[in-house]
Structure 1
């Protein structure tokens, strides 16, 4: 089942995606964390209005995740392209939740850090149940599904600190979508992942190259702390990030980034100038 969020009459709605249509699911919840926390069976929800997919304004499928966790250096070739040792334990960092945007929304080039903005196409896990100490063999039972995330990174800010939060968390630097595919629909460890910038292939790999797979990651994280429904876990990016091309191919205003993952879909976002901001 494909679960999307879209804007309908100025209200966020949750819908299933069937035959190029969005079919609204009748629920008071406007985001997946609340719906998942309630233990709702998507397939049991009554359905309502239909909207042609081509006419829909898609939102991030998880608009306000309780946490965004991410794994670094989780493809061998990516670790090697950066001259790093292949990790023996998952490298974990976080992204601030305000970085999330949906399909078609603009990725900002920061006014004060415009030179080293990079893309990272990633498979992302969406946690479906509150869980702790999850055995690897049971990890699939707590996963609601999978989506695509672009772990946009400001490389100079990322490298200026021992932690990666500031370089990974600028507003708009967490594009997500186009929807969540439930875990029964795909094998997360056999999916082709391709990132294109302006149509040029930059990353082309398969999730069978993950060093720590989705179930390893859930087991590892839950050994230390509770994972809440709607938590998003970006599983790492393959080789081909802009920083390591020769010369580097960083993002700039006017670019378009498209990430396609087999069995899920394509997430596309334009790259735009950061707008003027004001204190509120």
Structure 2
């Protein structure tokens, strides 16, 4: 499984070039794209189409070649195979056949965006959401999960859906900080830091801003300073008892349901208790 550049072809690694030169054939998401990529490095290899619509069938051809002793690389159109791209089924099939699958790491829009997010005090933990579901109800549930998630969250979006996503994020996330990366590593790369509710206006300000591929980082939720004295003693006692047996989120929800106290205040009180030495 070999990661390829997400835009700038100069980002290819020396090991990746060595492996591509060494293999007998290359399985790939798009043969035309991969042929052009290989040609730019002076390489020419037999190509095997292995995309989301034929991945299971293509895996059997790859397995047959591997059993013959041939060496096969798999690449998606950009970045690391298997991360919001085809490749996972191929890996599973190769593994189940008792054959070896070796990762060759490389460029990633996820780590590229995280590196320029500039969130002071971020502990490095994040959730990768990838592309959100297309169906309305599933999409709303996914957005609500991101809104409820205190950690950073990275998602991806295509140009024809970015305006709709911006409106949805504005409604769901409000003033939550967002770092948007457009066309990362490419000629018209753009990185913007703004609040979620400012995303629609930012896109509308320049027609070019809706073009290209997008990666978006929803920053960790800022902790609100809450005076525990604002909460009656009884809900706090219930919360303390629930925290002994339940995960933090479940304890907060249960305490709010039982006592009727504000969930946000209970959540901040629970965080304060967790962080106490």
Fold-level similarity (TM above 0.5)? no
More helix by share: 2
Give the structure-2-normalised TM-score.
0.23
Which structure has the highest strand share of the two? 1
Tell me: higher relative CO, structure 1 or 2? Use CA pairs within 8 A at least 6 residues apart.
1
TM-score by length of 1: 0.23
